[in-house]
């Protein structure tokens, strides 16, 4: 089919214009000055430019078994005078002797009374755009090994760091979650196979990133490294990529004899504890579902201070009751229930505790004590209660719980231990004209009011922390009578007007 003449003519003109444009752009591109970035343009990088571009950090090493001297020598041999920083939380002992002429130095993070503050600021020493953090005894073949990774970081801005496994190392990837409100870190069961981005790389590896990335972390140099890095990266939702080519070499195997192995493990456990403490993680849920708790033990003080105006310190800081405290409260409550049941004391869950039981079968996640009501006349039936209400001295039972009269009014308090003052409060009520009343009232607590005895005739059972305990009948009506309508469905923080959006 022949095209109309006019159209054919236009096509030819268009082709000519296009050719001119293409030729013009080709020459324009060629005449542009070469980009100055050494990495993308030059295959052979002079040793001076490596030192301008990259610093090496060694954080993960042990005093008692290390290859720091060999490692720094080797890195300087292949990379030239690249800055190498060995960062330690204390002065390494036995001494590490680095080559005097070399560019490696040891930085200690310890507070020294003789040092000024600005000199102690480690990050100010990193003058290169990139840092490579290597485990002790790592080796490189040359800069070419790192070069493509640096280009990658320059090109892929959303990749915050690159994990480069050590040769022959079985490296795998795991996922985990950090819940700061609940002070918890939870590790996933399944390892991610063939993951490109990895939340937690396990197995020995180096980490390459921009210096800016590293120093934007709240605490970049804490051990156990690189675990602490991954936790902080997770909170920032950073993407970390595993590379499986160009693996890092290994100069020698460390921690091979049983004693070194044991010491290494011990050090890691200690530093893990210190890290969790410093960032406020108190429960570690392992892939098996088993939890490790950090802080708030039977023989340590309660991990939050005196509660002022119903607003505990942790809530003020935007966090809920530390999980170790909740656990200790549950344990104390379970002990108290068992004693009350053994004595046949008529008891029931009170106030916020009953509310928690009705709402979720547990202590409300930001509550800090457990409240129980009893018939005052039943105190005489139960030795620990009798002790507590009559003696001026607290009564310590065989499981080290402390039973005592509360100093704030006419009620009893059972503390987790003499040191740890997490507690259960027991309020003695008595019946008067069909109404349950008591002698001490907290005027600021709306729920602290008299109520008809019919709620206790009969009692019901309610599931609280996995055990069935005694409660008023018609729990919903009882709670709404005390707190107001809709209280089960509408959680509120104490002493905050704003309802909770959860």
| 96/360 with CB nearer ligand NAG | 360
Give SS3 for 172.
Answer: strand
* Maximum CA extent, the chain: 116
Q: Residue 64 Cβ, how far from ligand NAG at the closest point, in Å?
A: 30
| 138/470 with CB nearer ligand NAG | 470
| 20/123 with CB nearer ligand NAG | 123
Q: Residue 68 Cβ, how far from ligand NAG at the closest point, in Å?
A: 23
| 20/119 with CB nearer ligand NAG | 119
- 343, 300, 354, 375: which is closest to 465 by C-alpha? 354
Binding site for ligand NAG (CB under 6 A): 116, 118-119, 361, 463, 466, 468
Give SS3 for 274.
Answer: helix
Q: Residue 359 Cβ, how far from ligand NAG at the closest point, in Å?
A: 12
Q: Tokens representing 392?
A: 């001026």
Q: Nearest residue to ligand NAG, using CB? A: 119
| 289/466 with CB nearer ligand NAG | 466
| 273/461 with CB nearer ligand NAG | 461
Burial environment of residue 347 by CB neighbours within 10 A (0 to 12, 13 to 18, 19 or more): buried
Q: Residue 118 Cβ, how far from ligand NAG at the closest point, in Å?
A: 5
Q: Are 427 and 411 in contact (CB under 8 A)?
A: yes
| 118/497 with CB nearer ligand NAG | 118
Would residue 65 be called left, alpha or beta, if left means φ above 0 and alpha means ψ between -120 and 50 degrees?
beta
Q: Residue 124 Cβ, how far from ligand NAG at the closest point, in Å?
A: 10
d(CA 303, CA 314): 10
Q: Residue 465 Cβ, how far from ligand NAG at the closest point, in Å?
A: 8
What residues pair up with 415 in beta bridges, in sequence order? 402, 423
C-alpha atoms less than 13 angstroms from C-alpha of 317 in its C-beta half-sphere: 14
Q: Residue 91 Cβ, how far from ligand NAG at the closest point, in Å?
A: 16
Give SS3 for 291.
Answer: strand
- 423-432 and 369-375 beta bridge pairing: parallel
Compute the Cα dihedral for 314, 318, 324, 330 and give only its sign. positive
């Amino acid at each position: 089919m022949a095209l109309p003449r006019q159209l054919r003519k236009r096509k030819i003109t268009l082709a000519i214009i296009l050719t001119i444009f293409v030729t013009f752009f080709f020459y324009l591109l060629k005449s542009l000055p070469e980009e100055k970035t050494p990495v993308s343009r030059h295959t052979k990088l002079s040793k001076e430019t490596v030192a301008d571009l990259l610093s090496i950090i060694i954080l993960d090493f042990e005093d008692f078994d290390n290859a720091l001297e060999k490692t720094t020598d080797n890195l300087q041999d292949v990379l030239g005078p690249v800055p190498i920083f060995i960062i330690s939380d204390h002065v390494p002992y036995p001494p590490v002797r680095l080559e005097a002429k070399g560019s490696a130095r040891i930085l200690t993070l310890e507070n020294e009374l003789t040092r000024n503050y600005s000199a102690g600021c480690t990050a100010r020493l990193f003058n290169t755009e990139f840092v490579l953090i290597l485990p002790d005894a790592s080796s490189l073949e040359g800069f070419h090994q790192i070069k493509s990774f640096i280009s990658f970081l320059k090109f892929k801005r959303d990749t915050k760091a690159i994990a480069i496994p050590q040769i022959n190392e079985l490296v795998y990837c795991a996922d985990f979650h950090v819940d700061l409100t609940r002070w918890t870190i939870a590790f996933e069961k399944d390892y991610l196979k063939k993951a490109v981005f990895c939340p937690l790389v396990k197995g020995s590896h180096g980490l390459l990133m921009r210096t800016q990335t590293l120093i934007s972390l709240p605490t970049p140099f804490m051990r156990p490294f690189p675990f602490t890095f991954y936790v902080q990266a997770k909170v920032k939702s950073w993407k970390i990529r595993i590379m499986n080519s160009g693996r890092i070499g290994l100069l020698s195997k460390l921690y091979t004899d049983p004693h070194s192995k044991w010491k290494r493990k011990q050090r890691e456990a200690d530093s893990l504890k210190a890290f969790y403490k410093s960032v406020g993680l108190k429960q570690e849920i392992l892939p098996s579902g088993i939890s490790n708790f950090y802080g708030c033990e039977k023989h340590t003080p309660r991990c939050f201070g005196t509660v002022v105006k119903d607003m505990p310190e942790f809530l003020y800081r935007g966090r809920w009751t530390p999980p170790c405290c909740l656990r200790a409260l549950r344990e104390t409550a379970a002990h108290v229930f068992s004693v009350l049941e053994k004595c046949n004391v008529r008891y029931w869950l009170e106030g916020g505790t009953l509310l928690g039981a009705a709402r979720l079968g547990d202590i409300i996640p930001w509550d800090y004590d457990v409240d129980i009501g009893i018939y005052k006349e039943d105190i005489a039936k139960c030795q620990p209660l009798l002790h507590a209400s009559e003696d001026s001295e607290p009564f310590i039972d065989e499981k080290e719980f402390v039973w005592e009269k509360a100093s704030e009014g006419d009620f009893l308090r059972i503390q987790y231990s003499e040191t740890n003052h997490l507690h259960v409060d027991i309020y003695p009520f008595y019946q008067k004209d069909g109404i349950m009343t008591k002698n001490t009232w907290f005027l600021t607590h709306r729920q602290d009011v008299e109520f008809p005895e019919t709620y206790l005739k009969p009692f019901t059972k309610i599931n609280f922390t996995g055990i069935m305990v005694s409660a008023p009948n018609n729990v919903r009506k009882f709670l709404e009578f005390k707190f107001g309508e809709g209280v089960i469905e509408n959680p509120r923080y104490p002493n905050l007007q704003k309802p909770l959006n959860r």
